[in-house]
Amino acid sequence: MTHPSLKIEALKIADAAAGLRHVFVRDLVLDCNIGVHQHEKGRVQRVRINLDLGVWEGDATHNDRLENVVCYEDIVKRVRAITGDGHVNLAETLAERIASLCLQDPQCRSARVRVEKLDVFDDAGSVGVEIERISTLRPRARG
């Protein structure tokens, strides 16, 4: 069993040499209709979602304009919509859907998504899955 004071640290993603900044969402707790077991169907469970995005900075500056960056507010709204969009069987499926939505932005080069179900076992803080996906899209020009 892991000591309660130990925390899992995200890997460093920001990389000046690669032209990447790190956009993240920490400990987003949402109600989600999730699970394969009969007792999980038709009821919501709390899930905690953590996102780490590698975002291409490109040659231009962001010019202090929201449209020139990956907006974490938009991402959180879209994640909320996914968790509220009906039953999903697997935490893996939810993680894939979230990664896919993040990678729809051509500036997003990579997405690491952790989905944790918080109330499965009395003697465990959480169970879940973490995935990382890489984009094949070309970054868009900014201005």
pLDDT of residue 1: 47
Element (H, E) at 54: strand 45-56
List, for residues 23-56, the tens digit of each pLDDT value.
999 999 999 999 999 999 989 999 999 999 999 9
> Which of 65-69, 106-110, 128-132 is most confident?
128-132
CATH classification code of 20-134: 3.30.1130.10
Q: Any idea where the domains of the chain sit in the sequence?
A: 20-134
**Residue 59: exposure state from Cβ atoms within 10 A (0-12, 13-18, ≥19):** exposed
List, for residues 69-128, the tens digit of each pLDDT value.
889 999 999 999 999 999 999 999 999 999 999 999 989 999 999 999 999 999 999 999
Q: Is the pLDDT of residue 8 over 70?
A: no
d(CA 52, CA 14): 10
